[in-house]
Amino acid sequence: MTTYAPAPPPPRGPVSAAVLGRLRETDHPLPTPEEIAAAPPLGDDAQLALHLCYELHYRGFAGVPDSLEWDPDLLRVRGGLERRMLAELRDRATAHKHAHEALDDLLVEPADGDSLSHRLSEKGELWQLREYAAHRSIYHLKEADPHAWVLPRLYGRPKAGMAAVEYDEYGGGRADRIHAQLFADLMADLGLVTDYGHYLDAASAEALALVNLMSLFGLHRSLRGALVGHFATVETTSSPGSRRLADALRRVGAGERAVFFYDEHVEADAVHEQIVRHEVVDGLLDQEPGLDADIAFGVDATEHLEDRFGRALRAAWDAGESSLRSTAAAHPGSPA
């Protein structure tokens, strides 16, 4: 990873165009409430606009002043986009009322094995794995950063458990073992550009929504339970999914560093799952039992958006098309 702050991407509609305009010119008009209300909350325009606002809290964008991170007008736009995304998710992703019930259901593998990792393990081609990595790079090149927002919002047992897992995600004190760096190594082995944010324009709305969900939960103390539910979902489902992805990469002849990223997660996340379930989730419920439904919502929202992402990629590939919005990650044999 060499680029600290990427260049701003092209817009995907009037809302993201207005936000981009404000990032470039301090007096550029921002989107109106009517424009925000007209944009589908999980669609390309709204999700890119939200991502632009959130990235100001991470690395920002080249040529964009750091002071815009707390610009009150941008925060009002972000708030409007967040409220619409939350309303959509609360309408569509509330299968469970209790945290343990939601997490227990994650342990049951679907009988048809229809997940994206199953698809890639069984018949994924190299170009499809490259596309998958390009989409996921929007998160994995800052892996664990969105979850770190919750640490100041926890105390005692759940804070200690969360910090222990985050310490592992950040390489246990070794820069070369930081998981974001390990994913950059995977990308390099697959012939992808490892610069932070390089594939932002290529990533789908479904991919952006998954990353935005973490920032949405992490940046609001009122959503600390949902963030814990999200994190527990990731750690619970990561180990078996990572095993399938490692198998897929071996099958197509990917390099050792590509396979290592997922092999590392098979072992590490099996341990992390136990810490998150028994220390973070149980610890938080002991302290704040009123967060039970919020944790369950975090699980359900994550699963809903993961399912959308998986369906979008499978539909594109089944149609013989690229899942990317641009040819930025094209590879010989890819429809892109």
Mean per-residue pLDDT, 248-268:
91
Q: How many CB atoms lie within 10 A of CB 63?
A: 10
The two three-digit tokens of residue 222, written as one number: 């009122």
pLDDT, tens digit, 9 for 90 and up, residues 149-158: 999 999 999 9
Domain count within the chain = 2
Same structural domain, 147 and 217: yes
335 assigned to some structural domain? no
Distance between CA atoms of residues 5 and 258, nearest Å: 24
Q: Quick one: pLDDT at residue 94?
A: 87
Residue 222 confidence class, pLDDT cut points 50, 70, 90: very high
Percent of the chain having pLDDT more than 90?
Answer: 87
Mean per-residue pLDDT, 123-142:
97
* Locus of tokens 């399912």: 307
Distance of CA 166 to CAs 154, 182, 220, Å?
A: 14, 15, 19
- Does pLDDT of 29 surpass 90? yes
- Does pLDDT of 10 surpass 70? yes
70 assigned to some structural domain? yes
- Does pLDDT of 113 surpass 70? no
Last-in-domain residue among 71, 92, 113: 92
pLDDT, tens digit, 9 for 90 and up, residues 173-188: 999 999 999 999 999 9
- Does pLDDT of 161 surpass 60? yes
Same structural domain, 303 and 195: yes
7 assigned to some structural domain? no
Q: Quick one: pLDDT at residue 264?
A: 87
Q: Going by C-beta distance under 8 Å and a sequence separation of 6 or more, which residues neighbour residue 215?
A: 54, 57, 146, 149
Distance of CA 33 to CAs 13, 19, 49, 90, 212, Å?
A: 15, 13, 13, 21, 20
118 by DSSP, 3-state: which? helix
The average confidence (pLDDT) of the chain is 93
325 assigned to some structural domain? no
Residue 322 confidence class, pLDDT cut points 50, 70, 90: very high
Alpha-helical runs (H) found in 219-277: 224-251, 256-275
Under DSSP, the state recorded for 96 is -
The two three-digit tokens of residue 94, written as one number: 């509330």
- Does pLDDT of 112 surpass 90? no
- Does pLDDT of 336 surpass 70? no
pLDDT, tens digit, 9 for 90 and up, residues 42-81: 999 999 999 999 999 999 999 999 999 999 999 999 999 9
Distance between CA atoms of residues 238 and 241, nearest Å: 5
Mean per-residue pLDDT, 201-230:
98
- Does pLDDT of 2 surpass 70? no
Which of the residue ranges 89-98, 107-116, 228-237 would you say has the lowest mean pLDDT? 107-116
- Does pLDDT of 110 surpass 70? no
Last-in-domain residue among 73, 92, 111: 92
- What is the CATH classification number for the domain harbouring 278? 1.20.910.10
256 assigned to some structural domain? yes
pLDDT, tens digit, 9 for 90 and up, residues 262-276: 998 887 767 888 899
330 assigned to some structural domain? no
78 assigned to some structural domain? yes
> Of 204, 218, 194, 217, which is closest to residue 313 (Cα–Cα)?
204
| Structural domain harbouring 19 | 14-92
Q: Quick one: pLDDT at residue 266?
A: 83
Same structural domain, 268 and 294: yes
The amino acid sitting at 88 is: E
Same structural domain, 211 and 240: yes
Same structural domain, 160 and 78: no
Same structural domain, 199 and 305: yes
Distance between CA atoms of residues 43 and 207, nearest Å: 11
Last-in-domain residue among 92, 113, 143: 92
Same structural domain, 43 and 105: no
The two three-digit tokens of residue 46, written as one number: 């709204």
Same structural domain, 262 and 159: yes
> Of 307, 304, 317, 280, which is closest to residue 100 (Cα–Cα)?
280
Same structural domain, 145 and 215: yes
Same structural domain, 70 and 200: no
pLDDT, tens digit, 9 for 90 and up, residues 226-241: 999 999 999 988 888 9
Same structural domain, 77 and 155: no
106 assigned to some structural domain? yes
Same structural domain, 67 and 113: no
Q: Going by C-beta distance under 8 Å and a sequence separation of 6 or more, which residues neighbour residue 178?
A: 143, 169, 170, 171
Max CA separation in the chain (angstroms) = 55
| 296 phi, psi to nearest 5 deg | -60, -40
- Does pLDDT of 328 surpass 90? no
